[in-house]
Structure 1
Amino acid sequence: MRLTRIAVGAVAACASLALFASPAVAAPTDTTVVTLNVVGAGLDIEAPEAAFLGSALPGTTLAGSIGTVRVTDRRGSADASWTASVTSTHFETGGGTPTERILASDIDYWSGQGAEQQGTGTFIPGQPTANDAQPLDTVTPLVAFRHVGGTGVNSVAWSPNLRVNIPASAVVGTYTGTVTHSVA
């Protein structure tokens, strides 16, 4: 009889333990709020470090590309508009006297069409063809390329050309000037 009581007590204890050890009921759904940051990396312009246009006689014209200029807009703006502009110093050789200088205004610039365009918005060359070429200036910037509208990241590359009108009074020598592209 004592054995029966122990067995009945053990069964009751196991049943009681089973009630408390049953799995909990899970919620049907649960949510997680996730956040992240989208950051901008700026508006940049890259131009060739140097270019050689060739050789020509006084009183003639020399034309050629200075290489690829690229604007990359990583600002991530709601309005991704920008304008790239260009200025130039006078080109000089020797002492910089009038006969040793080609004025910036004697140098015509044209951007040509853009290549490798990426992003939304409209890309507008400042001077699409040689017929649209405009003289450079040491102070007043010339529009080289523009991007209007669009959002987010965009980029374009172009290969601007210079047409140097060498004065008949120019002396023989290597003329050097600086063409500066900027973007804002």
Structure 2
Amino acid sequence: MGSSVALFAAGAAIPASAAPTDDTATTFAVLAGTLDIDAAATADLGTGAPGADITGSLGAVTVSDTRAAADASWETSVASTDFTTGGATAPETVLASEVDYWSGAATATTGTGTFTPAQATAGAAVPLSVTVPITAFTHTGGTGNDTATWAPTLIVNLPLDSQAGTYTGTVTHSVA
């Protein structure tokens, strides 16, 4: 019986030695999105008499930068049509250049970099233009994604010869 024990031990497999470490090549992708701007669809600035100023907010403007870029810089600009009333047969106009714009400070931001209003205070307000957009807000530096929201104000400098009516125009914000 002693010899069978020896044979059994001699026929048993010896376990292989395990490697102490092993590597797994691992990948993932960061998706690049877009650079977008969103502004209120409508704004009612209020009322005023000829020769007076009407001051009102355009509502929130938000830039969302989801480009996941190494340099997440962007700049927004704003332009306007003239403001008209009276219809096609007898239009009355308040020129875009008689309406001042000021961005004010950001109401919210996310991400890295520097967020800068072009007109931080009412004293820095600048006239709108039909042909030459003005800078509204900028973001410099930073990486990855970011957002900025501000609530710009318009100051309508009503001319003394303004006629009664509801004036309508379009203020357009762009980002690049």
TM-score by length of 1: 0.89
- Would the alpha carbon gap of residues 169 and 97 (structure 1) be closer, same or farther in structure 2, given more than 3 Å must change? farther
Of the three residues 39, 61, 67, the one matched with 1:69 is 61
Larger Rg: 1
> Contact 1:82–1:148 (CA<8 Å) still a contact in 2?
yes
Of the three residues 167, 177, 180, the one matched with 2:172 is 180
Identity, in percent, stands at: 52
- Counterpart CA distance in 2 for 1:57 and 1:17 is 108
List runs of 5+ in structure 2 lacking aligned partners: none
- Counterpart CA distance in 2 for 1:123 and 1:96 is 42
> Contact 1:99–1:169 (CA<8 Å) still a contact in 2?
no
Q: CA deviation at 1:99?
A: 6.5
User: Who is 2:50 aligned against?
Assistant: 58
Q: CA deviation at 1:157?
A: 0.8
Of the three residues 11, 14, 17, the one matched with 2:8 is 14
Q: Residues 64-116 of structure 1: CA distance to partner in whole angstroms, max 9, x if unpaired?
A: 11111111111111111110000001111123588611110010000001121
Q: Residues 5-61 of structure 1: CA distance to partner in whole angstroms, max 9, x if unpaired?
A: xx84x545523431x2x3221001101110111111111111001111111112211
Summarize the alignment of residues 106-125 of structure 1 with structure 2, pairs less than 5 Å apart: 106-125=98-117
Summarize the alignment of residues 59-98 of structure 1 with structure 2, pairs less than 5 Å apart: 59-95=51-87
Structure with bigger helix share is: 1
- Counterpart CA distance in 2 for 1:117 and 1:98 is 45
RMSD, aligned CA: 1.8
TM-score by length of 2: 0.92
Of the three residues 20, 24, 29, the one matched with 2:16 is 24
List runs of 5+ in structure 1 lacking aligned partners: none
Off by >2 Å, runs of 4+ in structure 1: 10-17, 95-99
